[in-house]
Structure 1
Amino acid sequence: MTPHSGTFGSAGERLLQNHLGSAERAAGFYGRQVQPQLTPQMREFIRQQNMVFISTADAGGECDASFRAGPPGFVVDLDQRTLTYPEYRGNGVLASAGNVTENPHMGLLFIDFTHHHIGLHVNGRALLRTDEEQRRTYPRLPVDTAPGRRPDLWVHLVVEEAYVHCSKHIPHLEPAQRPPLSPDSRPKDAEYFVAPRPPAPPSQAPVPVPARHYGHAG
Protein backbone atom coordinates (compact mmCIF):
# COMPACT_ATOMS: atom_id res chain seq x y z
CA MET A 1 0.00 0.00 0.00
CA THR A 2 1.58 3.25 -1.12
CA PRO A 3 0.30 6.76 -1.82
CA HIS A 4 -0.99 6.97 -5.39
CA SER A 5 -2.10 10.13 -7.19
CA GLY A 6 -2.57 12.00 -3.93
CA THR A 7 -4.65 9.21 -2.32
CA PHE A 8 -3.77 6.11 -0.34
CA GLY A 9 -3.71 2.79 -2.10
CA SER A 10 -1.96 1.70 -5.27
CA ALA A 11 -3.59 1.27 -8.67
CA GLY A 12 -3.26 -2.51 -8.23
CA GLU A 13 -5.06 -2.40 -4.89
CA ARG A 14 -7.97 -0.48 -6.34
CA LEU A 15 -8.19 -2.76 -9.37
CA LEU A 16 -8.52 -5.84 -7.16
CA GLN A 17 -10.92 -4.07 -4.76
CA ASN A 18 -13.25 -3.35 -7.66
CA HIS A 19 -12.89 -6.89 -9.01
CA LEU A 20 -13.63 -8.52 -5.62
CA GLY A 21 -16.22 -6.01 -4.44
CA SER A 22 -14.28 -4.67 -1.46
CA ALA A 23 -13.83 -1.05 -2.65
CA GLU A 24 -16.29 0.37 -0.11
CA ARG A 25 -14.71 -1.43 2.84
CA ALA A 26 -11.24 -0.43 1.63
CA ALA A 27 -12.32 3.20 1.36
CA GLY A 28 -13.41 3.08 5.00
CA PHE A 29 -10.02 1.63 5.99
CA TYR A 30 -8.12 4.29 4.05
CA GLY A 31 -10.27 7.05 5.49
CA ARG A 32 -9.89 6.10 9.14
CA GLN A 33 -6.80 3.93 9.58
CA VAL A 34 -4.17 5.07 7.06
CA GLN A 35 -2.31 8.09 8.41
CA PRO A 36 0.15 10.34 6.52
CA GLN A 37 2.30 10.59 9.63
CA LEU A 38 2.78 8.85 12.96
CA THR A 39 0.09 9.49 15.57
CA PRO A 40 1.12 9.88 19.24
CA GLN A 41 -0.16 6.34 19.86
CA MET A 42 1.96 4.96 17.01
CA ARG A 43 5.07 6.71 18.31
CA GLU A 44 4.55 5.27 21.79
CA PHE A 45 4.02 1.80 20.30
CA ILE A 46 7.29 2.00 18.34
CA ARG A 47 9.20 3.01 21.49
CA GLN A 48 8.09 -0.23 23.14
CA GLN A 49 9.12 -2.60 20.33
CA ASN A 50 12.31 -4.64 20.31
CA MET A 51 12.01 -6.02 16.76
CA VAL A 52 10.91 -4.97 13.30
CA PHE A 53 10.55 -6.66 9.92
CA ILE A 54 11.77 -4.60 6.97
CA SER A 55 11.21 -4.80 3.23
CA THR A 56 13.24 -3.22 0.43
CA ALA A 57 13.70 -3.65 -3.31
CA ASP A 58 16.46 -2.77 -5.74
CA ALA A 59 16.07 -0.55 -8.80
CA GLY A 60 14.67 -3.47 -10.81
CA GLY A 61 12.03 -4.34 -8.22
CA GLU A 62 13.78 -7.45 -6.86
CA CYS A 63 12.56 -7.64 -3.24
CA ASP A 64 14.26 -8.51 0.01
CA ALA A 65 12.75 -9.05 3.47
CA SER A 66 14.84 -8.79 6.61
CA PHE A 67 14.65 -8.43 10.39
CA ARG A 68 16.19 -6.13 12.97
CA ALA A 69 16.13 -6.37 16.76
CA GLY A 70 17.45 -4.48 19.76
CA PRO A 71 16.36 -3.07 23.10
CA PRO A 72 12.94 -1.37 23.17
CA GLY A 73 13.20 1.91 21.30
CA PHE A 74 16.15 0.90 19.10
CA VAL A 75 14.03 2.22 16.23
CA VAL A 76 13.92 5.89 17.19
CA ASP A 77 10.95 8.12 16.40
CA LEU A 78 12.68 11.44 15.77
CA ASP A 79 9.35 13.16 15.14
CA GLN A 80 5.93 12.34 13.68
CA ARG A 81 7.40 12.08 10.17
CA THR A 82 10.80 10.50 10.79
CA LEU A 83 12.19 7.20 12.08
CA THR A 84 15.78 5.98 12.24
CA TYR A 85 17.57 2.80 13.29
CA PRO A 86 21.24 1.70 13.36
CA GLU A 87 22.91 -0.68 10.92
CA TYR A 88 25.81 -2.68 12.37
CA ARG A 89 28.55 -4.65 10.67
CA GLY A 90 27.13 -8.13 10.04
CA ASN A 91 27.88 -10.59 7.27
CA GLY A 92 29.04 -7.80 4.99
CA VAL A 93 26.34 -8.36 2.35
CA LEU A 94 24.35 -5.18 3.19
CA ALA A 95 21.33 -6.36 1.18
CA SER A 96 18.78 -3.95 2.70
CA ALA A 97 21.09 -0.93 2.80
CA GLY A 98 22.32 -1.71 -0.70
CA ASN A 99 18.75 -1.69 -1.99
CA VAL A 100 18.16 1.71 -0.38
CA THR A 101 21.01 3.18 -2.42
CA GLU A 102 19.09 2.17 -5.58
CA ASN A 103 15.47 2.47 -4.46
CA PRO A 104 14.48 4.50 -1.40
CA HIS A 105 11.08 2.84 -0.84
CA MET A 106 11.02 0.90 2.43
CA GLY A 107 8.36 -0.81 4.51
CA LEU A 108 8.56 -1.55 8.24
CA LEU A 109 6.28 -3.92 10.14
CA PHE A 110 6.23 -3.82 13.94
CA ILE A 111 4.28 -6.60 15.70
CA ASP A 112 3.46 -6.95 19.39
CA PHE A 113 3.36 -10.73 19.91
CA THR A 114 3.15 -10.67 23.71
CA HIS A 115 0.67 -8.10 25.02
CA HIS A 116 -1.88 -6.45 22.72
CA HIS A 117 -1.26 -8.65 19.64
CA ILE A 118 -1.38 -5.78 17.19
CA GLY A 119 0.84 -4.64 14.34
CA LEU A 120 1.86 -1.35 12.75
CA HIS A 121 2.90 -0.82 9.12
CA VAL A 122 5.12 2.17 8.36
CA ASN A 123 6.04 2.91 4.74
CA GLY A 124 8.24 5.69 3.48
CA ARG A 125 11.44 6.76 1.77
CA ALA A 126 14.78 5.89 3.30
CA LEU A 127 18.29 7.23 2.99
CA LEU A 128 21.58 6.25 4.61
CA ARG A 129 23.62 8.42 6.94
CA THR A 130 26.89 7.79 8.70
CA ASP A 131 26.91 7.58 12.48
CA GLU A 132 28.75 10.90 12.65
CA GLU A 133 26.28 12.65 10.35
CA GLN A 134 23.23 11.36 12.19
CA ARG A 135 24.56 12.18 15.66
CA ARG A 136 25.55 15.65 14.56
CA THR A 137 21.91 16.31 13.60
CA TYR A 138 20.34 14.24 16.41
CA PRO A 139 22.77 14.23 19.37
CA ARG A 140 20.35 12.37 21.64
CA LEU A 141 20.43 9.14 19.66
CA PRO A 142 20.96 6.05 21.85
CA VAL A 143 24.51 4.75 22.09
CA ASP A 144 23.90 1.34 23.68
CA THR A 145 21.61 -0.51 21.28
CA ALA A 146 24.40 -3.06 20.81
CA PRO A 147 26.86 -2.78 23.72
CA GLY A 148 30.43 -2.40 22.58
CA ARG A 149 29.49 -1.82 18.94
CA ARG A 150 29.13 1.38 16.98
CA PRO A 151 26.78 1.64 13.98
CA ASP A 152 28.33 1.78 10.54
CA LEU A 153 25.23 3.57 9.22
CA TRP A 154 21.80 4.81 10.21
CA VAL A 155 18.74 4.17 8.09
CA HIS A 156 16.73 7.39 8.07
CA LEU A 157 13.08 6.93 7.05
CA VAL A 158 10.72 9.75 6.08
CA VAL A 159 7.22 8.42 6.78
CA GLU A 160 4.64 8.56 3.99
CA GLU A 161 1.94 6.40 5.55
CA ALA A 162 1.28 4.30 8.65
CA TYR A 163 -1.59 1.98 9.44
CA VAL A 164 -2.72 -0.85 11.70
CA HIS A 165 -2.15 -4.57 11.15
CA CYS A 166 -5.14 -6.25 12.79
CA SER A 167 -4.70 -8.69 15.66
CA LYS A 168 -6.38 -11.65 13.95
CA HIS A 169 -3.96 -14.60 13.54
CA ILE A 170 -1.07 -12.88 15.37
CA PRO A 171 0.28 -15.68 17.60
CA HIS A 172 0.94 -15.22 21.29
CA LEU A 173 4.61 -15.50 22.26
CA GLU A 174 5.97 -15.52 25.81
CA PRO A 175 9.22 -13.62 26.47
CA ALA A 176 11.95 -15.93 27.76
CA GLN A 177 15.67 -16.02 28.24
CA ARG A 178 17.52 -17.36 25.24
CA PRO A 179 18.76 -20.83 26.23
CA PRO A 180 22.47 -21.56 25.80
CA LEU A 181 23.35 -23.82 22.90
CA SER A 182 25.88 -26.60 23.12
CA PRO A 183 28.26 -26.87 20.14
CA ASP A 184 26.55 -30.10 19.00
CA SER A 185 22.91 -29.05 19.52
CA ARG A 186 22.51 -27.68 16.00
CA PRO A 187 24.60 -26.85 12.92
CA LYS A 188 26.58 -23.63 12.81
CA ASP A 189 24.75 -20.66 11.28
CA ALA A 190 26.83 -20.82 8.11
CA GLU A 191 25.92 -24.51 7.69
CA TYR A 192 22.31 -24.46 8.91
CA PHE A 193 20.68 -24.31 5.46
CA VAL A 194 23.57 -25.44 3.25
CA ALA A 195 25.75 -28.51 3.44
CA PRO A 196 29.20 -28.05 4.95
CA ARG A 197 31.96 -27.60 2.45
CA PRO A 198 33.91 -30.81 1.89
CA PRO A 199 37.47 -30.75 3.19
CA ALA A 200 40.06 -29.64 0.69
CA PRO A 201 41.89 -32.52 -0.97
CA PRO A 202 45.44 -33.12 0.24
CA SER A 203 48.07 -31.15 -1.56
CA GLN A 204 49.47 -32.93 -4.62
CA ALA A 205 52.98 -31.54 -4.26
CA PRO A 206 55.57 -33.26 -6.48
CA VAL A 207 57.63 -35.92 -4.78
CA PRO A 208 61.23 -34.68 -4.52
CA VAL A 209 63.74 -36.72 -6.53
CA PRO A 210 66.92 -37.59 -4.63
CA ALA A 211 70.01 -35.93 -5.99
CA ARG A 212 72.39 -38.28 -7.86
CA HIS A 213 76.06 -38.23 -6.97
CA TYR A 214 78.61 -39.25 -9.61
CA GLY A 215 82.06 -40.44 -8.59
CA HIS A 216 85.26 -39.84 -10.57
CA ALA A 217 86.94 -42.73 -12.31
CA GLY A 218 90.21 -43.68 -10.66
Structure 2
Amino acid sequence: MNDRPAGRPGSAGERLLQSHLGTADRAATFYDRQVQPRLTDQMRDFVGRQTMVFLSTADAGGNCDTGFRAGPPGFVTVLDEYTLTYPEYRGNGVHAGNGNVLENPHMGMLFVDFTHHHIGLHVNGAAQLVGDAEQRRVYPHLPLDSAHGRQPSVWVHLRVHEAYVQCSKYIPHLEPAPRPRGLAADRPKDSDYFVPPAAAHAESRAHPPAPTLPMGY
Protein backbone atom coordinates (compact mmCIF):
# COMPACT_ATOMS: atom_id res chain seq x y z
CA MET A 1 0.00 0.00 0.00
CA ASN A 2 1.33 3.43 -0.92
CA ASP A 3 0.60 6.00 1.80
CA ARG A 4 2.43 8.87 0.12
CA PRO A 5 0.42 12.00 -0.70
CA ALA A 6 0.08 12.49 -4.43
CA GLY A 7 2.97 14.46 -5.88
CA ARG A 8 4.87 14.68 -2.56
CA PRO A 9 7.93 12.68 -1.50
CA GLY A 10 8.01 11.06 1.90
CA SER A 11 5.54 8.78 3.65
CA ALA A 12 2.92 9.70 6.23
CA GLY A 13 5.11 8.01 8.84
CA GLU A 14 8.07 10.16 7.88
CA ARG A 15 6.03 13.33 8.23
CA LEU A 16 4.62 12.23 11.58
CA LEU A 17 8.12 11.71 12.99
CA GLN A 18 9.38 14.97 11.46
CA SER A 19 6.59 16.83 13.21
CA HIS A 20 7.23 15.02 16.51
CA LEU A 21 11.01 15.56 16.41
CA GLY A 22 10.94 19.07 14.97
CA THR A 23 12.76 18.27 11.71
CA ALA A 24 10.01 19.13 9.21
CA ASP A 25 11.74 22.22 7.81
CA ARG A 26 15.07 20.39 7.40
CA ALA A 27 13.31 17.46 5.76
CA ALA A 28 11.45 19.78 3.38
CA THR A 29 14.78 21.24 2.25
CA PHE A 30 16.10 17.74 1.61
CA TYR A 31 12.97 16.72 -0.34
CA ASP A 32 13.05 19.87 -2.46
CA ARG A 33 16.75 19.63 -3.32
CA GLN A 34 17.62 15.93 -3.29
CA VAL A 35 14.58 13.72 -3.95
CA GLN A 36 14.19 13.40 -7.70
CA PRO A 37 11.32 11.70 -9.58
CA ARG A 38 13.77 10.40 -12.19
CA LEU A 39 17.46 9.62 -12.62
CA THR A 40 19.46 12.75 -13.32
CA ASP A 41 22.41 12.56 -15.73
CA GLN A 42 24.76 12.37 -12.75
CA MET A 43 22.76 9.50 -11.21
CA ARG A 44 22.74 7.58 -14.47
CA ASP A 45 26.51 7.94 -14.77
CA PHE A 46 26.94 6.83 -11.13
CA VAL A 47 24.82 3.67 -11.58
CA GLY A 48 26.81 2.77 -14.68
CA ARG A 49 30.04 2.71 -12.63
CA GLN A 50 28.78 0.57 -9.74
CA THR A 51 29.65 -3.08 -9.19
CA MET A 52 27.17 -3.84 -6.39
CA VAL A 53 23.70 -2.97 -5.18
CA PHE A 54 21.68 -3.72 -2.04
CA LEU A 55 18.00 -4.57 -2.56
CA SER A 56 14.87 -4.44 -0.41
CA THR A 57 11.51 -6.06 -1.14
CA ALA A 58 8.42 -7.12 0.80
CA ASP A 59 5.64 -9.57 0.11
CA ALA A 60 1.93 -8.73 0.10
CA GLY A 61 1.81 -9.07 3.89
CA GLY A 62 4.73 -6.69 4.46
CA ASN A 63 7.28 -9.38 5.32
CA CYS A 64 10.63 -7.99 4.21
CA ASP A 65 13.67 -9.42 2.49
CA THR A 66 17.04 -7.87 1.75
CA GLY A 67 19.33 -8.86 -1.07
CA PHE A 68 22.69 -8.12 -2.61
CA ARG A 69 23.75 -8.27 -6.24
CA ALA A 70 27.15 -7.70 -7.82
CA GLY A 71 28.71 -7.72 -11.26
CA PRO A 72 30.96 -5.75 -13.58
CA PRO A 73 30.36 -2.00 -13.95
CA GLY A 74 27.09 -1.55 -15.81
CA PHE A 75 25.56 -4.87 -14.74
CA VAL A 76 22.64 -2.72 -13.61
CA THR A 77 21.73 -1.09 -16.89
CA VAL A 78 20.15 2.35 -17.11
CA LEU A 79 17.61 2.07 -19.92
CA ASP A 80 16.41 5.67 -19.62
CA GLU A 81 15.88 8.28 -16.94
CA TYR A 82 12.93 6.35 -15.50
CA THR A 83 14.06 2.75 -15.94
CA LEU A 84 16.73 0.36 -14.63
CA THR A 85 17.21 -3.35 -15.26
CA TYR A 86 19.54 -6.10 -14.09
CA PRO A 87 19.81 -9.86 -14.77
CA GLU A 88 18.94 -12.63 -12.34
CA TYR A 89 20.54 -16.07 -12.44
CA ARG A 90 19.60 -19.45 -11.04
CA GLY A 91 21.22 -19.02 -7.60
CA ASN A 92 19.90 -21.19 -4.77
CA GLY A 93 16.49 -21.58 -6.40
CA VAL A 94 14.58 -19.87 -3.57
CA HIS A 95 13.78 -16.58 -5.39
CA ALA A 96 12.90 -14.81 -2.14
CA GLY A 97 13.16 -11.24 -3.39
CA ASN A 98 11.73 -11.92 -6.82
CA GLY A 99 8.91 -13.92 -5.28
CA ASN A 100 8.07 -10.81 -3.29
CA VAL A 101 8.02 -8.76 -6.50
CA LEU A 102 5.28 -11.02 -7.86
CA GLU A 103 3.13 -10.08 -4.85
CA ASN A 104 4.29 -6.52 -4.24
CA PRO A 105 6.23 -4.60 -6.91
CA HIS A 106 7.74 -2.00 -4.57
CA MET A 107 11.54 -2.30 -4.51
CA GLY A 108 14.32 -0.24 -2.97
CA MET A 109 17.86 -0.22 -4.36
CA LEU A 110 20.92 1.22 -2.64
CA PHE A 111 24.14 1.78 -4.59
CA VAL A 112 27.21 2.69 -2.51
CA ASP A 113 30.63 3.83 -3.69
CA PHE A 114 32.94 2.63 -0.88
CA THR A 115 36.22 3.23 -2.70
CA HIS A 116 36.39 6.60 -4.45
CA HIS A 117 33.72 9.23 -3.78
CA HIS A 118 32.14 7.62 -0.67
CA ILE A 119 28.60 8.44 -1.66
CA GLY A 120 25.41 6.44 -2.10
CA LEU A 121 22.26 6.55 -4.18
CA HIS A 122 18.81 5.32 -3.19
CA VAL A 123 16.48 4.32 -6.03
CA ASN A 124 12.90 3.33 -5.21
CA GLY A 125 10.33 2.15 -7.70
CA ALA A 126 8.06 -0.58 -9.03
CA ALA A 127 9.66 -3.77 -10.32
CA GLN A 128 8.51 -6.51 -12.65
CA LEU A 129 10.13 -9.71 -13.91
CA VAL A 130 10.78 -10.09 -17.63
CA GLY A 131 12.11 -13.14 -19.48
CA ASP A 132 15.56 -12.91 -21.06
CA ALA A 133 14.42 -13.31 -24.66
CA GLU A 134 11.62 -10.78 -24.27
CA GLN A 135 13.89 -8.23 -22.58
CA ARG A 136 16.55 -8.54 -25.28
CA ARG A 137 13.97 -8.12 -28.03
CA VAL A 138 13.05 -4.74 -26.62
CA TYR A 139 16.57 -3.78 -25.46
CA PRO A 140 19.08 -5.52 -27.75
CA HIS A 141 22.02 -3.53 -26.34
CA LEU A 142 21.89 -5.28 -22.94
CA PRO A 143 25.20 -6.86 -21.84
CA LEU A 144 25.65 -10.45 -22.99
CA ASP A 145 28.21 -11.87 -20.55
CA SER A 146 28.00 -10.10 -17.20
CA ALA A 147 28.27 -13.42 -15.31
CA HIS A 148 30.98 -15.33 -17.19
CA GLY A 149 28.85 -17.30 -19.62
CA ARG A 150 25.80 -17.82 -17.43
CA GLN A 151 22.42 -17.12 -18.99
CA PRO A 152 19.95 -14.88 -17.10
CA SER A 153 16.78 -16.65 -16.05
CA VAL A 154 14.87 -13.37 -15.84
CA TRP A 155 15.51 -9.63 -15.73
CA VAL A 156 14.30 -7.35 -12.96
CA HIS A 157 12.87 -4.25 -14.64
CA LEU A 158 12.45 -1.27 -12.32
CA ARG A 159 10.33 1.80 -13.04
CA VAL A 160 11.87 4.63 -10.99
CA HIS A 161 9.59 6.57 -8.65
CA GLU A 162 12.23 8.49 -6.72
CA ALA A 163 16.00 8.69 -6.35
CA TYR A 164 18.06 10.52 -3.75
CA VAL A 165 21.50 10.76 -2.20
CA GLN A 166 22.92 8.71 0.68
CA CYS A 167 25.34 11.07 2.39
CA SER A 168 28.97 10.10 2.84
CA LYS A 169 29.37 10.68 6.58
CA TYR A 170 29.22 7.05 7.72
CA ILE A 171 30.28 5.26 4.52
CA PRO A 172 33.50 3.35 5.30
CA HIS A 173 36.46 3.37 2.97
CA LEU A 174 37.23 0.04 1.32
CA GLU A 175 40.28 -0.71 -0.80
CA PRO A 176 39.69 -2.86 -3.91
CA ALA A 177 41.85 -5.98 -3.94
CA PRO A 178 42.02 -9.21 -5.94
CA ARG A 179 39.88 -11.95 -4.43
CA PRO A 180 42.10 -14.69 -2.92
CA ARG A 181 41.90 -18.05 -4.65
CA GLY A 182 40.18 -20.79 -2.71
CA LEU A 183 38.76 -20.60 0.79
CA ALA A 184 40.52 -20.12 4.10
CA ALA A 185 41.50 -23.48 5.61
CA ASP A 186 39.17 -22.99 8.59
CA ARG A 187 36.24 -21.66 6.56
CA PRO A 188 33.15 -23.90 6.23
CA LYS A 189 31.39 -24.31 2.90
CA ASP A 190 28.69 -21.72 2.17
CA SER A 191 25.95 -24.28 2.81
CA ASP A 192 27.43 -25.09 6.25
CA TYR A 193 28.52 -21.59 7.28
CA PHE A 194 25.52 -20.65 9.43
CA VAL A 195 23.95 -24.08 9.99
CA PRO A 196 25.42 -27.48 10.91
CA PRO A 197 26.66 -29.64 8.04
CA ALA A 198 23.79 -31.56 6.46
CA ALA A 199 24.98 -34.98 7.68
CA ALA A 200 25.43 -33.77 11.26
CA HIS A 201 22.05 -32.05 11.14
CA ALA A 202 20.35 -35.25 9.97
CA GLU A 203 22.15 -37.23 12.71
CA SER A 204 21.05 -34.79 15.43
CA ARG A 205 17.45 -35.09 14.29
CA ALA A 206 17.63 -38.90 14.33
CA HIS A 207 19.26 -38.98 17.78
CA PRO A 208 18.24 -35.87 19.70
CA PRO A 209 20.32 -35.14 22.79
CA ALA A 210 18.90 -36.20 26.13
CA PRO A 211 17.13 -33.35 27.93
CA THR A 212 19.08 -31.58 30.63
CA LEU A 213 17.50 -32.20 34.05
CA PRO A 214 17.11 -29.43 36.60
CA MET A 215 19.70 -29.32 39.38
CA GLY A 216 18.78 -31.60 42.34
CA TYR A 217 17.70 -34.64 40.27
Q: What TM-score, normalized to structure 1?
A: 0.89
Q: What's the offset of the Cα at 1:2?
A: 7.9
Q: What's the offset of the Cα at 1:183?
A: 6.8
Contact 1:123 1:161 in 2 (8 A): yes
SS of the residue 1:198 aligns to: helix
Q: What's the offset of the Cα at 1:182?
A: 4.2
SS of the residue 1:162 aligns to: strand
Contact 1:125 1:158 in 2 (8 A): yes
CA distance in 2, matches of 1:178, 1:118: 23
CA distance in 2, matches of 1:15, 1:73: 38
Aligned twin of 1:104? 105
1:39-95: CA deviation from partner (whole Å, max 9, x where unpaired): 000000000000000000000000000000000000000000000000001000001
CA distance in 1, matches of 2:194, 2:5: 40
Mapping for residues 31-50 of structure 1, pairs under 5 Å: 31-50=32-51
TM-align CA RMSD: 1.5
Aligned twin of 2:79? 78
Letter matched to residue 157 of structure 1: L
Q: What's the offset of the Cα at 1:5?
A: 2.5
Q: Kindly tell me the number of residue pairs found equivalent between the two proteins.
A: 201
Q: What's the offset of the Cα at 1:180?
A: 1.7
Letter matched to residue 134 of structure 1: Q
Letter matched to residue 155 of structure 2: W
SS of the residue 2:199 aligns to: coil
Letter matched to residue 104 of structure 1: P
Stretches of structure 2 lacking an aligned partner (at least 5 in a row): 204-217
Mapping for residues 50-65 of structure 1, pairs under 5 Å: 50-65=51-66
Q: What's the offset of the Cα at 1:128?
A: 0.4
Larger Rg: 1
Q: What's the offset of the Cα at 1:181?
A: 2.6
Task: Using the aligned pairs only, state the percent identity.
Answer: 68
Stretches of structure 1 lacking an aligned partner (at least 5 in a row): 202-218
Letter matched to residue 116 of structure 2: H
Q: What's the offset of the Cα at 1:3?
A: 4.5
CA distance in 2, matches of 1:2, 1:109: 21
